[in-house]
Amino acid sequence: MDQTGERAADVLVADDRIAEVGTGLRGDRELDAGGCIVAPGLVDLHVHLREPGMEDAETIETGARAAALGGFTAIVAMPNTTPAQDDPAVVSAVLAAGSRSSCDVQAAGTITKARAGGELAPMGELHALGVRIFTDDGSCVDSAGVMRAALEYAASLPGAVVAQHAEDDSLAGGGHMHEGDWSSRLGIPGRPAAAEDTIVARDCILAATTGSRLHFLHLSTAGAIELVRAAKARGLPITAEAAPHHFTLTDAACASFDPIFKVNPPLRTDADVAAVKAGLADGTIDAIATDHAPHRTEAKERPFEEAPPGMLGLETALALTLGELVEPGVMSLGDALARLSWGPAAIAGLADHGGPVHAGSIANLCVFDPGVRWVVEADALASRASNTPYAGQTLRGRTRHTVLRGTPVVVDGSPVR
Ligand SMILES: [Zn+2]
């Protein structure tokens, strides 16, 4: 399957490029793709690699390996590291480690220094190093004035996009799950949908007045998705992503009091899940992004209200997309791959990723078997952490080979780098 449709064919790779797509092709080394889909490598706009600062949870090397196993050939490393990626030296170090890893790593830069929400980071200097996505992810830019200044600055930087973690801290602060029936029943302080909706509404207005590119990270509420749909209909340069846990899980999971289900923005209601699916189906949401957020087991074994938010996502995203969106007919396989590959590649300006699978393209490929069933084993994941909410579940569809710039980095489901 590529952007033009499905067909049975061989893909011949020479050096870092696709040399030919056709039948009866032979090369020095052959990877069996029988029964598989050969797609452009997947692209994840939202990954926490935890390096520098939290290498006991993940490193650039282990996170990139998990990405490759998930079929990703490019990922965007979120800047909420310690120190934060608000500085050219930190960004350069992340890029250097990424260049030795199993996938292409684009570093995101912060919007504000130390993600403190005040003074802007040196966005121009970071842009010169290749940064295209600027975000204080993990924290919302609460100040409308700072957000407007960032949007204005980014407008002068080619390809730059400001990405908002839309949760108003004055509404969501102190909450640990979605505010609603379940939080009342469980007695856990909630994070209301309004925390997301109000920031999305405000930032759509700021994007309109500045004309700057704006991206919304991990949309999770029906209200926010409707706001983005309306803004796009008005022609605003806005894009959005959603995470697999927001179209597969609801706040009811928190009834277990298991912090594995704690994430920001939180798991929401059935109606919100339906809205995320509808937004992905009609293109209001441009990308599926994992928000892969590794945490040490000890950190996640604390009581619900003390545990840090976040869950793994890289190795399960493709199967969850196939199982929740493609198999039930919410969207076609082609549209699903658009949200997983060329949609996010376009947002991040990753010209070498997202296909098409044609002669001449850089050979960044994800070869996956859509029919194979597998059980998620938390401890068997390549990620250094094991905080997946899908442990023990049987999923369908898995990467067989991943090819990065012509070099196989996953062969028959095993990492080779
Ligand atoms: Zn976030």
- From CA 71, how far away is CA 75, in angstroms rounded? 11
Distance 243 CA to ligand 1 centre (A): 10
- From CA 154, how far away is CA 206, in angstroms rounded? 13
Distance 335 CA to ligand 1 centre (A): 24
Query: Which of 25-29, 171-175, 393-397 comes out lowest in average pLDDT?
Result: 25-29
DSSP secondary structure, 194-210, as one string: HHHHHHHHHHHHHHHHH
Region 20-44: mean pLDDT is 95
| Whether pLDDT at 3 is above 50 | no
The dihedral region occupied by 218, where left means phi > 0, alpha psi between -120 and 50, and beta the remainder, is left
E-assigned strand segments in 254-350 = 287-288
Q: What are the tokens at 59?
A: 């490193």
| Confidence bin at 8 (pLDDT 50/70/90) | confident
The dihedral region occupied by 117, where left means phi > 0, alpha psi between -120 and 50, and beta the remainder, is left
pLDDT tens readout for residues 133-156? 999 999 999 999 999 999 999 999
Sequence-distant (≥ 6) Cβ neighbours of residue 15 within 8 angstroms: 406
DSSP β-ladder status, 414-415 and 214-216: unpaired
| Whether pLDDT at 266 is above 60 | yes
Distance 46 CA to ligand 1 centre (A): 8
Distance 138 CA to ligand 1 centre (A): 4
Q: What are the tokens at 278?
A: 């509808």
Distance 50 CA to ligand 1 centre (A): 14
Whether residue 137 contacts residue 165, with contact meaning beta carbons closer than 8 Å, is answered with: yes
Q: What are the tokens at 296?
A: 């040490």
Average pLDDT over all residues of the chain: 96
| Confidence bin at 2 (pLDDT 50/70/90) | very low
Report the SS3 class of residue 245. helix
- From CA 34, how far away is CA 41, in angstroms rounded? 18
Q: For residue 78, which of 138, 124, 4 has the smallest C-alpha distance?
A: 138
Can you name the residues that pair with 119 across neighbouring β-strands? none
Residue in the structure block whose two tokens are 């082609």: 334
Distance 199 CA to ligand 1 centre (A): 13
Percent of the chain with pLDDT over 70: 99
Give the H or E element holding residue 126. helix 123-128
- Residue 231 has φ and ψ, to the nearest 5°, of -65, -40
Q: At what angle do helices 222-233 and 270-282 cross, to 10 degrees?
A: 20
Distance 210 CA to ligand 1 centre (A): 23
pLDDT at residue 417, as a whole number: 79
| Whether pLDDT at 6 is above 80 | no
Distance 32 CA to ligand 1 centre (A): 38
Query: Which of 2-11, 156-165, 169-178, 310-319 comes out lowest in average pLDDT?
Result: 2-11
Region 353-373: mean pLDDT is 97
Amino acid at site 135? T
pLDDT at residue 71, as a whole number: 98
pLDDT at residue 5, as a whole number: 56
| Confidence bin at 267 (pLDDT 50/70/90) | very high
pLDDT tens readout for residues 190-243? 999 999 999 999 999 999 999 999 999 999 999 999 999 999 999 999 999 999
User: Which string of b and e fits 132-149 if b means at least 16 CB within 10 Å?
Assistant: bbbbbbbbbbeeeebbbb
- From CA 316, how far away is CA 331, in angstroms rounded? 18
Distance 165 CA to ligand 1 centre (A): 5
Distance 78 CA to ligand 1 centre (A): 9
Which residues are marked as active site?
291
Q: For residue 131, which of 77, 83, 64 has the smallest C-alpha distance?
A: 77
Distance 293 CA to ligand 1 centre (A): 10
Give the H or E element holding residue 192. none
- Taking the whole predicted model, whether its pTM rises above 0.95 is answered as yes
pLDDT tens readout for residues 75-126? 999 999 999 999 999 999 999 999 999 999 999 999 999 999 999 999 999 9
Q: Centre a 10 Å sphere on the Cβ of residue 360 and count the other Cβ atoms it contains.
A: 9
Count of positions (residues) in the chain: 417
| Whether pLDDT at 52 is above 80 | yes
Q: What are the tokens at 19?
A: 């040399």
Distance 166 CA to ligand 1 centre (A): 8
CA dist 410 → 40, 110, 189, 364, 404 (Å): 14, 31, 43, 12, 9
Cis peptide before 266 (omega within 30 of 0): no
Whether residue 75 contacts residue 43, with contact meaning beta carbons closer than 8 Å, is answered with: yes
Expressed in angstroms, the distance from the first to the final Cα of the chain is 26
| Whether pLDDT at 7 is above 90 | no
